[in-house]
Amino acid sequence: MKKIIITTLLSVSLLAVTACNNDTANSGNINSGPEPVQPVFKNVSVHDPSIILADNKYYVFGSHLASAKSDDLMSWTQLSSGVVDGNVLIPNVKEELKEALTWGKTDTLWAPDVIQLADGKYYMYYNACKGDSPLSALGIAVSDQIEGPYKNKGIFLKSGMVGVGDDGETYDATQKPNVVDPDVFFDKEGRLWMVYGSYSGGIFIMELDTSTGFPLPDQGYGKKLLGANHARIEAPYMLYSPETDYYYLFLSYGGLAADGGYNIRVARSKTPDGPFEDSEGQDMIDSQGTAGVLFDDPAYAPYGVKLMGNFEFLNNDDELPVSGEGYVSPGHNSAFYDEETGKYYLIFHTRFPNRGEKHEVRVHQMFMNADGWPVVAPHRYGGETIDKYTKEQIAGEYKYVNHNKEITADIVQSELIQLTKSGKIKGAVKGKWKLIDDHTAELTIGGSTYKGVFLKEWNEATASNVMTFTAVSNEGISIWGSHVSPSE
């Protein structure tokens, strides 16, 4: 009954289009393979999207009681939005969740999570928070159907109180959790867990009863995994990979607004309750703020493998005269692994360059690199499947992005590099590259080795299929490349 262990064949709606081929060595076009195809995308706004597969459809549930569904992870339909009476998920939400809203002194709900338990019912872990303090309540609502209606079963955690907290100790916001952002998951042994937390005292995990969904007794707030002293770390999400036998803990660092520098990171452990480490072997329990300093980003920016931050692929003069492709403050992701297809997916919300606070759901394919770390495809998922490639297909001019390790509102803009047939990297950065086996990538730049994959995928900004690469270094820095694609 795991949330995403049930698998399905993707139903992909594709529309054929024509593109020009150019067989020159450094054109950036792919010299063989099928005609480019254009995925059909339909966008929705669900902040903090948490994914579940149910009834052969993909559902995302997010903040403000928003939800959407899709058959193929590309074309989405909005189902609900707004903590208002009449919302299809909880039609009488103001009364149904009155206790939580009153405790949190708020009129809205934050990032929920939905999971199906052994009784076949769907359990929504909702949470209400004041926002400018950790005054929060977290509870469960249950429904027979994935699309609701959900009925409240009660609150089981509170935070932000003056005096004694839910663990029997004096509540200290610098060390105790803000009880929001839950992710509930089964481990490989069938035990049920909830990882949660945002800013305040850090990210915590506790074990739940597989029958009721409520916590097992005598855990208090559970076990701390990382964070403290109001570190800007939130949105934990756990993914187990049977391929690597690791539990991957995804996190969002920074602030969620367009100027907040939100970015997605990951750490891993052999057990669901840690300890978690990053690619440098650093214990994530040390990823925390500085006592007496609010939001001391430089203190924890060195921790975790950074998968994605602000970036923009700039179209050059040889490409279509349209704006490029990029994200601002991508974050609060969920993820899943499809056992039938072997594909990994990263699902998140993001804002965009020059578009203010408008946000939409995006899905990117992920892969495990040679060292067992996730790498994220540079372009949104368009139905692609990784294949066998040649050095001739890969060689060419690329738009290159280095995501670095900073927490910053700055947008990394792409620079031009070339991957030569002889294995050299020229242009904005210099080094060497090689193709290992069918699609495994290894690039050496500035003394660091980046491991990942080459992947042919659809680029919306150029309306063409392009070769890409995605790779991560031992320092936990991700780099992306997207082939320059001549216009028709």
The C-alpha atoms of residue 33 and residue 36 are separated, in whole angstroms, by 9
Q: How many CB atoms lie within 10 A of CB 186?
A: 21
SS3 284: helix
SS3 94: helix
Q: How many CA atoms lie within 13 A of 36 on its CB side?
A: 22
Q: What is the 3-state secondary structure (H, E, C) of 16-46?
A: ECCCCCCCCCCCCCCCCCCCCEEECCECCCC
* Pick from 446, 439, 389, 384: nearest CA to 417: 446
Residue type, 1: M
Strand residue runs (E) in 18-175? 37-39, 50-54, 57-62, 66-70, 76-80, 113-116, 122-129, 136-143, 151-159
Indicate the burial class of 130 (C-beta count within 10 angstroms; 0-12, 13-18, 19 or more): middle
In our burial notation (b when 16+ CB lie closer than 10 A, e otherwise), range 250-261 reads bbbbbbbebebb
3-state helix, strand, coil in the chain (%, to 5): 5, 45, 50
According to DSSP, the residues that pair with 250 across neighbouring strands are 237, 266
According to DSSP, the residues that pair with 433 across neighbouring strands are 443
Catalytic positions are 48, 234
In our burial notation (b when 16+ CB lie closer than 10 A, e otherwise), range 135-145 reads bbbbbbbbbee
Cis previous bond, 149, omega within 30 = yes
Alpha helices in 180-221, H assignment, sequence order: none
According to DSSP, the residues that pair with 334 across neighbouring strands are 347
Which residues neighbour 247 within 8 Å (Cβ) at sequence distance 6 or greater? 187, 238, 239, 240, 268, 269, 270, 271, 272
